[in-house]
Amino acid sequence: MSDVAGVLFDIEGVIVTSWEPVPGAADVLAELRASGVPRAFLTNTTSRTCAEIAATLSDLGMPVDANEIVTAASLTAEYLKQTYPGRRCWVLNDGNVDADLDGIDRDDADPDVVVLGGAGEGFTHRTLSRVAELMLDGVPVVAMHRAASWQGPDGLRLDTGAYLPGLEELSGQMVVAVGKPSMQGFLAAADLMGVEPDRMVMVGDDLYGEVLPGQRLGMAGVLVRTGKFRRSVLELAVDKPDHVIDSVADLPELLRTM
């Protein structure tokens, strides 16, 4: 297909939107697999496990293996095991991803570490105030990601990253974010494919959370005009994506020129 040795995809907004397939996405994934080009999927989705995501995509006509997927939750589990081994964690997350957090000790009442997953109905004023109090008491906070928004079926929704600056300002304590746009996930996906970053393509709908971080690692960045893409964000950006396409359906044609 090209000299590209691997393609890294965001999921929501790129190959699906609100878990409905983007037209042409299944054909693109099938063409990559038939061409022998490794694929991986890096997502900040915190409402489904790797296995659940793989099953959902497969049901939508896009066969994907769970071991091709890197989630913010699975990255966070590895970070917690390495940084806070054996510590009790309060996990505040909109969705059950316990399978990806296997081996993490849980204690909501008296935690040693607070873990913030995806924002949802549980991110109430009272709950976030408790997080702030724990931070003021010196309890470290780890966020699964720092994404500020996600695209819901009825429009944009605020995500965890929208709350972190206020918590950090109040407490004077920084929150470690593990998923996108942190480099950790991109490098984990590169290792998964066995491909050097400078021979990879990163395909995303988020300029600042996906495409530019990939480019900083040497990946070719491809921004799609689906999902949470906003023209105003692109026009005002100082740093630009390497490529912009209407949708993932246009990716094979682009790859043939790279």
* pLDDT score of 1: 54
pLDDT attached to residue 83? 96
27 contacts: CB under 8 Å, gap ≥ 6: 249
Torsion of CA 124, 128, 129, 133, to 10 degrees: 160
Cα distances (Å, whole numbers) of residue 246 to 31, 58, 200:
18, 24, 20
In which element (H, E) is residue 143 found?
strand 141-143
Give the pLDDT score at 130.
97
* CB burial of residue 66 (10 Å; 0-12, 13-18, 19+): middle
pTM check: above 0.85: yes
Residue 218: predicted pLDDT: 97
Q: Supply the Cα-derived Rg of the chain in whole angstroms.
A: 18
Q: What is the pLDDT of residue 149?
A: 83
Looking at residue 2, what is its pLDDT? 64
Q: CB burial class (10 A; 0-12, 13-18, 19+) of residue 109?
A: exposed
Q: What share of the chain is helix, strand, coil (3-state, %, to 5)?
A: 40, 20, 40
Ranges of the chain with pLDDT below 50: none
